[in-house]
Structure 1
């Protein structure tokens, strides 16, 4: 990790410097919240799982709140540019951030100059989805099984490549962890998000990509690329022909991605309560649940998705990834 931090420090500091803005003075809260559109910042390009989830949840929240919910994509630097903008926004409930275990936990271990603290600079609103990861290869690669792909990487160190959304993204964490566990080498190529990386996977420019089921199930079903293994404990009905990593001989590769909403620190409690209610409404929505089932995404149970539970999850995951990524040294 120290090598990763050294390489990233200069570029990330410069990128973040352009993105950070000082939070303005707190304006008087409207008597009724919300009375204007709400923006959800997504630190990734359109087309990936994070973007899709934010749009699904935002649509249902909009219905409950009676206000438009707008998704703003701010990709770059492993989502740190977007998350920094969210952390420094006015804490009035009208600018939220959508993040996952990479953005709100692992980044603490990856960037030694991270310009925001996921615990101190944000107020948790709720965990909205737990999603397995899928290893997928290009059709041009010729790999038909996970074992064949591993054998290729063993015989050709450093030749295989993975498309990723950059250090800190779950699409970067997953292959990093896989390569470490297997003792293999490959090139991790950075894109502005999972969507742009997928385009090169389809074209055969990238050999492989690991992303959430929300992204990879449609890709596999439509024949655009081939799924080889999934991180769920058991096979899923949406990809019945795809073995789990445990079945493929790597039970230690366990990575289910949590995703959730946060607000800037200092957001009034009554606003946070209203936003938490909107998230709960979204997660009880029939339309959202049907879409989750299609994409093998799990709605967190009520006791695991509220403000307190999500805050505790972020805290524990920061500690876990500090340990995991230190071990990768």
Structure 2
């Protein structure tokens, strides 16, 4: 049986359906991206080996972001060339917000001055999201070595030029440059031994294959607490609350010395702004959580949360600062 109003009802449904389809078709692509993002797992590329500070921070933040965004956040370690291999990989990834980089002061402020040629532009190829943490570097030694203080290390290095070897997570890393800056300011001759990440360098330090490291505190502090490594000094201007009895290098014998590492998340340049906004908002939220801050602080780091604009400006100032350090120290990529 057909009722008179059926045709009018069907007509109205057709009109409404057309209007809805038109509205969806005219919705900005950015709004659609924001509404659907994230629809699959996100990957954080760590440009250093597992076990180092960059890796530790990526896993802490990645787990928190996974809980906040409702999608798995995976960590992919791509070590080599002072972080350049992993950074280049992300720079060439699709600009869709599904590939992030846990960048460092090395990848985004040091390497462009240290390497003659990079396959990526640390400014133009990335969309900064936020710093995650500032981290002191910790000057540590194998306990079998004869020096316990900064003054003793300097004296030994001057008596045995070229016989003190210091490891790093790679040429151009903040760990490397901390050592080069120390060499210049203390007037000593030490040999740099680069590794593909902090963890393998620490392994050799524990085995007494190398003598010292200016390691990021999160990857060294557990060995200091266990007595397997000897803390000599921190590289920052102030002592670390996690190791209050360990002096700064400046107060222990090299006035004016200061070096701080930082770590932050980036996505690919050209990522739709609504996706960048979603990532930035989620990141600021998780970095404000007490549990996340506590995990970073336990590793000797200082949690940081900022807007993409503030992070971008910070990177520009860091480029100027570290380019000067590289030039004055005479450091080169190995």
How big is the shift at 1:190?
1.4
TM-score, normalised to structure 2's length? 0.86
2:255 counterpart residue number: 251
**Contact 1:220–1:227 (CA under 8 A) maintained in structure 2:** yes
What are the Cα deviations for residues 244-294 of structure 1, in whole angstroms up to 9, with x where unaligned?
112202232211111101111110100000110121122112211112222
Q: Check if 1:313 corresponds to 2:317.
A: no
Partner-residue secondary structure (3-state), 2:43? strand
Question: Which of 125, 141, 146 is the equivalent residue of 1:142?
Answer: 146
Instruction: Tell whether 2:294 aligns with 1:290.
Output: yes
In the TM superposition, residue 29 of structure 1 has moved relative to its aligned partner by: 4.5
Aligned to 1:82: 86
User: How far 1:71 moved relative to its partner?
Assistant: 0.5
SS in 2 for 1:296: coil
Partner deviation per Cα, 1:230-253 (whole Å, 9 max, x = no partner): 123332332132111122022322
Q: CA deviation at 1:312?
A: 0.7
Name whichever of 206-215 and 68-77 sits farther off: 206-215
Please say if 1:327 is aligned against 2:328: yes
Once superposed, what is the RMSD of the aligned Cα atoms?
1.4
Cα distance in 1 for partners of 2:214, 2:313 equals 27
| Gap runs ≥5 in structure 2 | 1-31
Of 262, 265, 282, 1:261 maps to: 265
Say if 1:216 and 1:227, in contact at 8 Å, map to a contact too: no
Structure 1 distance, partners of 2:303, 2:204, is 31
Q: 2:240 aligns with which of 218, 236, 245?
A: 236
Aligned residue number for residue 21 of structure 1: none
User: 1:183: Cα distance to partner?
Assistant: 1.7
Which of residues 58, 67, 71 is equivalent to 2:71? 67
1:166-205, aligned counterparts within 5 Å? Answer: 166-205=170-209
Counterpart residue number, 1:272: 276
Paired with 2:235 and 2:322, the residues of 1 have a C-alpha distance of 17
> How far apart are the structure 2 equivalents of 1:180 and 1:115?
29
Which residue of the partner structure matches residue 129 of structure 2?
A: 125
SS of 1:109's equivalent in the other structure is: helix
Secondary structure of the structure 2 residue equivalent to 1:177 = helix
Residue equivalent to 1:42? 46
Contact 1:162 1:187 in 2 (8 A): yes
Distance in 2 between residues matched to 1:170 and 1:327, nearest whole Å: 15
Q: 2:221 aligns with which of 213, 217, 221?
A: 217
Q: How far off its partner does 1:30 sit?
A: 7.6
SS in structure 2 of the partner of residue 310 of structure 1 = helix
The separation in 1 between residues aligned to 2:108 and 2:239, in whole angstroms, is 28
Aligned-partner Cα distance in 1 for 2:242–2:94? 41
Considering only CA atoms, is the larger Rg found in Structure 1 or Structure 2? 2
The answer for the alignment partner of 2:59 in structure 1 is 55
- Structure 1 residue 31: Cα displacement: 4.2
Supply the distance in 2 between the matched residues of 1:95 and 1:295 (Cα, whole angstroms): 26
Query: TM-score, normalised to structure 1's length?
Result: 0.88
What is the SS of the residue equivalent to 1:86? Answer: helix
Residue 32 of structure 1: CA displacement?
A: 1.2
In 2, are the aligned partners of 1:130 and 1:256 still within 8 Å (CA)?
yes
- Does the CA contact (< 8 Å) of 1:60 and 1:281 recur in 2? no
In structure 1, C-alpha distance between the alignment counterparts of 2:286 and 2:235, rounded to whole Å: 26
**Runs of 4+ that moved beyond 3 A:** 28-31
Offset of residue 145 of structure 1: 1.4
**CA separation of 1:324/1:237 partners in 2, compared to 1, >3 Å: closer, same or farther?**
closer
